[in-house]
Amino acid sequence: MQCKEIIQVIEATFPRTAALGFDNVGLLAGRSEKEVSRIYLALDATDVVIDRAIKEGADMLITHHPLLFSAVKKVTDEDFITRRIVKLIQNDISYYAMHTNYDVLGMAELSGKIMDLQNGGEVLDVTYTDEEGNPEGIGRIGNLEKDMTLEECCVYVKHRLELGSLKVFGDMQKKVHRLAISPGSGKSSIAVALEKGGADVLVTGDIGHHDGIDAVEQGGLAVIDAGHYGTEYIFIEDMKQFFEKKLPVLDVLTDPIEHPFQII
């Protein structure tokens, strides 16, 4: 089927209108009329990912994070970003990104389920209203099945997200019951988590030194930094299942789960 037909199926569930204003989602390179039989799914369009997609004979590459965020004045092989665009076009691979539209209409609910928030939790930061008038947005907040110490919660999060390590700010013996999760870079979610429902702990990524200690000082909010990749790689398997259900005629390959850094 053609690339544009696949896009129609994607955007029926994850419309581009749900993306946040700063974002750049949709078909970013390649032909909309490209015949597609094999899709390659990844979190980022890195050199390694693009080479894998080429090796696997993919017709379409779909990532969560857009390769292009801001405008470029030229597309040549002299820049490491646009060089990737050149390679994709040379190999006739159509490239599509679905970022905050997926965060709002897919990642948020999925992360709440993974954390097993009671009744699925509620939207943490409302940014969008769907066609039926339902509020949607970034992250989820809800109650854990039982109280636990922050230390126990760290073990719980590591288990749920299948992580080897994480970073935590807060008193490890503090009891936590209400958990907020904001996959990706969640610095901006700290204020929301404090204001909305009095979260005891926020699970997110990319938390700096001052962000973490200020969260604890401001409102006693513990912060578990599970990493940007660690909270968002769930996109890959979720979208694989999406295509298997919606477009079973397609061959869908997934990038291996490889965290981009090591702790030694």
CATH number for position 162: 3.40.1390.30
Tell me: do 216 and 132 sit in the same domain: yes
Residue 173 pLDDT greater than 90, yes or no: yes
Give me the domain span that covers residue 73. Answer: 3-98
The whole-angstrom separation of Cα 91 and Cα 184 is 30
Cα distance between residue 138 and residue 110, in whole Å:
11
pLDDT band at 196 (very low <50, low <70, confident <90, very high): confident
Q: Within this chain, do residues 90 and 15 fall inside the same structural domain, yes or no?
A: yes
In a shared domain, residues 106 and 94 = no
What's the pLDDT tens digit per position in 83-138? 999 999 999 999 999 999 999 999 999 999 999 999 889 999 999 999 899 999 99
Phi, psi of 135, rounded to the nearest 5 degrees: -75, 135
- pLDDT-derived band at 219 (thresholds 50, 70, 90) equals confident
pTM, full prediction: 0.97
pLDDT tens digits along 98-107 = 999 999 999 9
User: Do residue 123 and residue 90 come from a single domain?
Assistant: no
